[in-house]
Chains A and B, each alone.
Chain A
């Protein structure tokens, strides 16, 4: 089974890209799909209705959705294998831009919208830098020059990144993504899958529900306005 992990900000077109992959490959192989989201998601039902494939979703609630993804990924891989899937697509919630849910043995795809701000790729850091492929959507809404400038910005974050421009609703350019999936190896050993990057720190008293503002009121890994570094204040 091959594993594909799709990340990207909200409404960038992640599901549209997943849909294109399923549309083009679903005839010849069995595909399973998992959506990770925070409070509501509809993708699992939509894709199950549209393509008749096994889908699942998980809500992270108060937990960081990417952390949730990491927690449940082994279970999810087992589920997809039980479903006899040839290809397993995991779509992240796409929230804080600092996340990078990519793992080893999986093709990491970041989906970016060409109509998002020109600095968006720079703001995203590891979500772009640790991916294998950037799929830039809504390419039909921008001019040639804007495409090239957006591309240049994306390359600033990750110079060797493979970039695929697409109108994901029509499926233009998606052939290169399909080929990258073809060429990507299957999972060899799920036990050995690890995250490619370190997820953001999430250990302070805000994480456990204290609502006061100001670092003085909190413990754990905290930060002051004029300090460049994180500091640790134990309880």
Chain B
């Protein structure tokens, strides 16, 4: 595990695609913070999270610098997975590793040199809270559905990687209980960065980073002004979730859902 406590991560500005400096002084992220990264396709969202994941030192296309506790982080934060404080859950909803779930997790536990018993079961149990389709330990990773893969990867990041910073790239499009995920991650005091197009995820975050043309265009801090909108989104989302489950179950939807 990390010997140093991660108190904050600081992102220093780089340049947009035309080479002009970005529109912020610095962005600071602390444990427990939730941040959404929004913007159209090709606006630079992936490059932004990539800079954080590898702790850019003005050596990526964006020219950004990412500091840990105000300093350039030691190399092992990037190169030694067991010391890496960032876990990225990619958009990818397919795991290509041809192993059983338990075998895969055991190997990951071994690579992290974790000796606490019960970690494997805890990971699968947590994953099963995020998805409605039960994950069994002896199923092949390659035959997990998109939602199951995502759920397992998030649970893995929390329990096995135990990373203080989690980056979740479009968790909404994978058929998981996203509100449950956010709630659980907040409980574990993680710093969360969501790349998202989802109103619920975006409005549940404390801050929104708006991307445009390869650069940070604005950092929005709603400070409660979006509370009413969030309430509405939560309501709509629960209606949609219920309808989705009913449709999946083969039912006809007759009752007007809006109450």
Contacts and interface: CB of A to CB of B under 8 A. Distances in A.
Interface residues of A, number: 27
Interface in A74-104: none
B107 interface: yes
Contacts of A148: 81, 108, 111-112, 161
A175 interface: yes
Contact of A167 (B50, B75, B99): B50
Interface residues of B, number: 36
B95 interface: yes
Interface stretch (A41-49, A138-146, A217-225): A138-146
A176 to B, nearest CB: 7
A172 interface: yes
Contacts of B90: 140-143
A181 to B, nearest CB: 15
B98 A170 contact: no
B92 A172 contact: no
Contacts of B95: 142-143, 146
B89 interface: yes
B59 A175 contact: yes
A118 B99 contact: yes
A145 B60 contact: no
B182 to A, nearest CB: 19
A11 to B, nearest CB: 15
A83 to B, nearest CB: 29
Contact of B81 (A119, A140, A151, A171): A151
B160 interface: yes
Interface string A136-161: 00001111111111111100000000
Interface string B72-108: 0001001101001001111010011111000011011
Nearest to B111: A152
Given A141-B90, A141-B92, A176-B79, A149 B60 contact: no
B110 A145 contact: no
B157 interface: yes
Q: Which 5 A-B pairs have the closest CB atoms?
A: A152-B111, A144-B87, A148-B81, A145-B156, A143-B153
